[in-house]
Amino acid sequence: MNLSITVPTRIDLAGGTLDVYPLYLFEDGGLTLNAAIDVYVHVSVEERDDPRIVIRSEDMDMAEDIASLEGMKMGGKLDLIKKALRYYRPHRGPPRGLNITTRSEAPHGSGLGSSSALLMALSWALNEINQMGLSREQIIGLGANIEAQVIGIPTGKQDYFPPLFGGVRTIWFDVDGFHHEDLSTDNDLIERLNERLILSFTNLSRFSGATNWTMLKRYIEQEGDTVARIRRIKEVAIAMQDSLARLDFDEFARLLSVEWENRKGLAEGVTTPQINDMIAAAEEAGARASKLCGAGGGGCMITYAEPERVPAVKQALTLAGATVMPFRIVQKGIRMSR
């Protein structure tokens, strides 16, 4: 069997960090909002006639040839793929070899959830090949556990939803698991957001896991105003869900700005002088709000501007050192071909 999988990455709009276990339990549930975008991750899986496993990452320019699944050793930048292979192994009979090729369109360290998107695409393919019959929700739950094993610290869960479901989505996390809702069905929400949102790469790479861990640690130790900021971020996410449901973009822009104001105080390094200069340049050109994607520290940034101001804001971001990226929010999640 040969499978080709394409999945979108995401921009996060509000409520990030509230998807990190067990922080959302401490806050009686957490809500995040995000949107799938057409910056894609591609995974192809081809069964072999021998037990060898050949992994190629085109965007990282890396490859590994492994004699068999039983002899596979961990350690290195391909461990996320290897951990998935260990879990999604056939339950009956010896595992067959595989050729696995991956490619991400997202810049390295983008904060767009590309590693989680890759894991979802690969998990979907292995679930199909090994006929395990897992649902999308089950694959998401497994993905969070697999990625936590690889990075060695608690990980957020919101990034797994856009690759599999697409659209503009709210996700609640609570003691009974998670549930989610598509806000972009039977309306023009996606079209109107695409007219107003700008995606840029700050050209500053970041590592979200370390920042999320710092935020969680500060919350547990009740350091500074971390708890108050997290609670305000949850309030903003709830209000933003309502504003998007009503297509109230004035309120959406205001809440996006409030989200960033609270987020950048959660941990040292969430923002930098260079990022502050980019946001200031965008605002001078007419932007209403900006926030970094993911946990911050660099990577990609979304900026809100009214449609007539978008060209000027894009130019201002470019002059400030950012790289404006063409993108669209997309309704469709995973695509598979055989």
What is the C-alpha separation between 315 and 94, in angstroms, rounded? 57
What is the C-alpha separation between 142 and 162, in angstroms, rounded? 16
Per-residue pLDDT at 210: 53
In the predicted model, residues of the chain with pLDDT beneath 50 are none
Per the rule left: phi > 0, alpha: psi between -120 and 50, beta: everything else, 167 is left
What is the C-alpha separation between 39 and 30, in angstroms, rounded? 26
In our burial notation (b when 16+ CB lie closer than 10 A, e otherwise), range 299-330 reads bbbbbbbeeebbeebbebbeebebebbebbbb
- In degrees and rounded to multiples of 5, residue 217 shows phi and psi of -65, -45
What is the C-alpha separation between 119 and 153, in angstroms, rounded? 17
Per-residue pLDDT at 295: 81
What is the C-alpha separation between 114 and 147, in angstroms, rounded? 12
Compute CA distances 11 → 126, 163, 299, 319, whole Å. 26, 11, 11, 23
Burial bucket for residue 65 (CB in 10 Å: 0-12, 13-18, 19+): exposed
Token code pair at residue 296: 């911050």
Q: Which helix (H) or strand (E) holds 25?
A: helix 23-26
Length of the chain as a residue count: 338
Q: Whole-model pTM?
A: 0.95
Digit-coded pLDDT (tens) for 86-135:
999 876 667 789 999 999 999 988 999 999 999 999 999 999 999 999 99
Helix (H, G, I), strand (E, B) or coil at 155: coil
Per-residue pLDDT at 124: 97
Per-residue pLDDT at 81: 97
Per-residue pLDDT at 294: 87
Domains, the chain, ordered by start: 2-184+331-337 (3.30.230.10), 189-325 (3.30.70.890)
Per-residue pLDDT at 95: 73
Token code pair at residue 146: 């697999």
Q: Which helix (H) or strand (E) holds 82?
A: helix 79-87
Handedness of CA 202, 204, 209, 210 (dihedral sign): negative
Q: Which helix (H) or strand (E) holds 323?
A: strand 323-325
Per-residue pLDDT at 207: 56
CB atoms within 10 A of CB 112: 30
What is the C-alpha separation between 41 and 18, in angstroms, rounded? 25
Burial bucket for residue 152 (CB in 10 Å: 0-12, 13-18, 19+): exposed
Question: Which residue spans within 15-96 are E strands per DSSP?
Answer: 30-47, 53-57, 62-66
